[in-house]
Each structure stands twice: as structure tokens, then as C-alpha cells.
């Protein structure tokens, strides 16, 4: 059985930088830089321009990963696209990315399978686990795992929505999972979910229990009106914080226990970048030194499915992540869902 390793990473962020002061001066949100930083650790984030979809952000990120892996787009055997902000309600963003990468062009099109993963902040780890399993089974040689988000299109950028809107930014991060006979790669993954808290962090606009799912003003012929509590993301912050800390610590301990390693054996930790305060709490609880933590939330905000792959891509770019290192990735998000993965780079 081949091993599954990460052969290439890539990332892309939009050009527009939105600072905490911009939230106040440009969008009129009653907030301050100090208020946001104290609660989240975020100083700025990136917003994509109008007309940009998550699959658009994923194209340059994928091209960077392919170059680092020494591959071409036609070498890919599968696309796994993790996102909570898909290009549209359906079809999934994976097929749009397939088309934009040119896989369908020319005389030898590649009709590779494309699957979207809707596990929000844990989406990349769910995708990584799926990709590793596909490679280890021999079903694929190269699987593209994407995390891409255009949050700025669906944020309540008013004082009413500041608790959530101050958190999120737009970005894409990708990893290519490839087969190898070398003794390296994904050593294990641990995933979980607790649907008891499904409504504690949610966005109700696509509520298919309603008839119709978007209320119409004047019968079937009238336009639809969507109330703010349905249109914008909803979060019970204290519930999320408590469960995030608990599940992230649990995942780290489970990974170490099952693989027979100590925390000190791990060279780098890539925590999902939801809130710097959550990650600091987890690190302090587990005794993980700051020198082993990767961060980019202060510059990019919470980019949901893109946080972990952007951390990996940046760490490779700067040389902080090197061949032979042991890396642990940990995430928690809506659902609630969570997970961890251990990789020998």
C-alpha cells in the first residue's frame, strides 16, 4: 500500500486589505481596532472584488501547488473542494475549478471526479483524510484538496453583525496529496462531529424545510424577502469557544495516544485560524510552545476551510516547514465538526 504525502502546497489571497479601522471608517461599524484585536487577535483581512467566486481564488493557489509538486493539472486524478461559501447553491465549486484549470480543454480532456465538502472550518481536514484514503487505496495518484472562501459576500457589515463580520476574510489554500513508496506522509487522521450543536454556528438561508425556502412577499409571483436572522451567519460565541477548546485538546491527545508519540515529538502545529484566543488557550492548556505554532489570523482573519492549507503554504514558502518535520493539524468548526491529522513532511 503506498503512502500518501503532501507533494505541493499553494495559496492565494485577494489584493484588498481591510483593516479593523476600515471596518469603522469604510463600513460604518461601531468598533475599534483594539476591540477586535483583544477578542480575536485579528488586525486585518482580505476581501475579494465583486464578481469573484471561491473557485476563482483556487485557480492561482492550485497553479502554485502544481508547480511546487512538479505536476501539471492533467496529472490530477480527483478534486476535493472544501468550502462554506460555494460559487452557487449547486452545482459544487469543484466542477467550476475543474473547468477553470483547463482540464476539459483540448483533444484529451480529463473528466476527473470533483467533490465538494461542506464541513466548514474542518473541511480541509475532512478532505485531507479522504484524499489520503483514496491514495493509500491505490484509487488515485494525485488528489487536489482545496479550501477556498469568499466570505465577504455574505457578511453583515454593520454594527449589528460586527461580532461575526469582524472575524472573516477571503482566501484559498490547497494541498496536493500524492502517492509515494517513501516512508513519509499522512500518518493518521481523527475526525468527529456533534450534531447536538448544529444551530450554535449556522447560516439558515438555505433552509429547505421551508416552502419555499426563501419567503415570497406576494404569493408565487412576488419577490422574496429574507430576514437578517436568516440571511447572515449566526454564532453563539461562548458555546463555540468552550467546545472548540475541548475538542481540539481531545483531538491532539487522541492523535498522540494512538500513534505513541509525545507532544514534544511534533515540530509544528497548524491550528485552524478561527480565533487567536482559542488557539492560545489550547496551546497553553496542552503546554505547546509558541515557537511551534503557525499563525496567520492576524493578517488574514478566519478563512474557514482555507486556514490550514494557507498556513502550510506560507510555512513552506518561508522555510519554516521543512522535509522530515512532524506536523499536526487541528480544526474545529460548525456542525460541530472537528479533526486532527498527523503528517511526516
The Cβ-side half-sphere exposure at 315, using a 13 Å CA radius, reads 26
* Residue 16 and residue 60 in one domain: yes
* Residue 172 and residue 191 in one domain: no
How far is it, in rounded angstroms, from Cα 337 to Cα 129?
Answer: 14
pLDDT at 233: 86
* Residue 23 and residue 101 in one domain: yes
| R_g (Cα) of the chain, nearest Å | 20
**How many residues does the structure list for the chain?**
345
Q: How far is CA 118 from the centre of its chain?
A: 10
Domain end, chosen from 115, 147, 182, is at 182
The residues near 51 (Cβ < 8 Å, ≥ 6 apart) are: none
The residues near 45 (Cβ < 8 Å, ≥ 6 apart) are: 17, 18, 168, 169, 170, 299, 300, 301
CB 111 within 8 A of CB 95: no
Catalytic residues: 121, 272, 302
Domain end, chosen from 151, 182, 213, is at 182
Q: What is the CATH number of the domain that holds 290?
A: 3.40.47.10
* Residue 178 and residue 191 in one domain: no
* Residue 159 and residue 241 in one domain: no
211 is a domain residue: no
**45: enclosing H helix or E strand:** strand 44-47
275 is a domain residue: yes
223 is a domain residue: no
pLDDT at 73: 97
Cell of 103: 482540464
* Residue 76 and residue 129 in one domain: yes
* Residue 28 and residue 142 in one domain: yes
* Residue 125 and residue 113 in one domain: yes
DSSP 8-state code for residue 272: -
pLDDT at 219: 64
Write out the residue range of the structural domain in which residue 276 sits. 186-199+233-344
* Residue 167 and residue 190 in one domain: no
The whole-number mean pLDDT for each consecutive block of 10 residues of the chain, a chain of 345 residues, reads 96 97 95 94 97 98 98 98 95 97 94 96 97 97 98 93 93 98 97 95 86 74 77 89 95 96 97 95 95 97 97 97 97 96 98
Cell of 254: 487522541
* Residue 70 and residue 32 in one domain: yes
10 phi-psi bin (left φ>0, alpha ψ -120 to 50, beta other): beta
204 is a domain residue: no
49 is a domain residue: yes
pLDDT at 220: 66
* Total domain count, the chain: 2
* Residue 32 and residue 170 in one domain: yes
pLDDT at 306: 98
Pairing of strands 3-12, 171-180: antiparallel
212 is a domain residue: no
217 is a domain residue: no
Pairing of strands 114-117, 78-82: parallel
* Residue 177 and residue 194 in one domain: no
pLDDT at 216: 75
222 is a domain residue: no
Domain end, chosen from 153, 182, 211, is at 182
Amino acid at each position: 500500500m503506498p503512502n500518501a504525502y503532501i507533494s505541493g502546497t499553494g495559496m492565494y489571497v485577494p489584493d484588498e486589505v481591510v483593516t479593523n479601522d476600515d471596518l469603522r471608517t469604510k463600513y460604518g461599524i461601531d468598533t475599534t481596532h483594539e476591540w477586535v484585536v483583544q477578542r480575536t487577535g485579528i488586525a486585518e483581512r482580505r476581501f475579494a472584488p465583486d464578481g469573484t467566486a471561491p473557485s476563482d481564488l483556487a485557480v492561482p493557489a492550485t497553479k502554485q501547488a502544481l508547480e511546487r509538486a512538479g505536476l501539471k493539472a492533467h496529472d490530477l486524478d480527483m478534486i476535493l473542494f472544501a468550502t462554506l461559501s460555494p460559487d452557487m447553491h449547486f452545482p459544487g465549486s469543484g466542477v467550476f475549478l475543474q473547468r477553470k484549470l483547463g482540464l476539459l480543454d483540448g483533444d484529451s480532456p480529463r473528466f476527473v471526479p470533483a467533490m465538494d465538502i461542506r464541513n466548514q472550518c474542518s473541511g480541509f481536514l475532512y478532505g485531507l483524510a479522504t484524499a489520503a484514503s483514496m491514495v493509500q487505496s491505490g484509487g488515485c495518484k494525485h488528489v487536489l484538496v482545496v479550501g477556498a472562501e469568499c466570505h465577504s459576500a455574505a457578511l453583515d457589515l454593520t454594527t449589528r453583525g460586527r461580532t461575526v463580520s469582524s472575524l472573516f476574510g477571503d482566501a484559498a489554500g490547497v494541498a496536493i496529496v500524492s502517492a509515494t513508496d517513501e516512508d513519509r506522509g499522512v500518518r493518521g487522521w481523527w475526525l468527529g462531529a456533534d450534531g447536538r450543536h448544529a444551530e450554535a454556528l449556522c447560516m439558515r438561508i438555505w433552509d429547505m424545510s421551508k416552502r419555499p425556502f426563501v419567503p415570497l412577499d406576494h404569493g408565487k409571483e412576488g419577490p422574496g424577502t429574507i430576514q437578517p436572522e436568516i440571511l447572515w451567519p449566526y454564532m453563539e460565541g461562548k458555546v463555540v469557544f468552550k467546545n472548540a477548546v475541548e475538542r481540539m485538546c481531545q483531538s491532539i491527545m487522541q492523535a498522540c495516544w494512538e500513534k505513541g508519540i509525545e507532544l514534544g515529538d511534533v515540530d509544528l502545529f497548524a491550528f485552524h485560524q478561527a480565533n487567536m484566543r482559542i488557539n492560545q488557550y489550547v496551546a497553553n492548556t496542552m503546554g505547546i510552545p509558541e515557537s511551534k505554532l503557525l499563525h496567520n489570523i492576524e493578517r488574514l482573519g478566519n478563512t474557514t476551510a482555507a486556514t490550514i492549507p494557507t498556513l502550510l503554504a506560507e510555512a513552506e514558502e518561508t522555510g519554516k516547514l521543512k522535509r522530515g518535520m512532524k506536523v499536526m493539524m487541528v480544526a474545529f468548526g460548525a456542525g460541530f465538526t472537528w479533526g486532527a491529522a498527523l503528517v511526516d513532511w
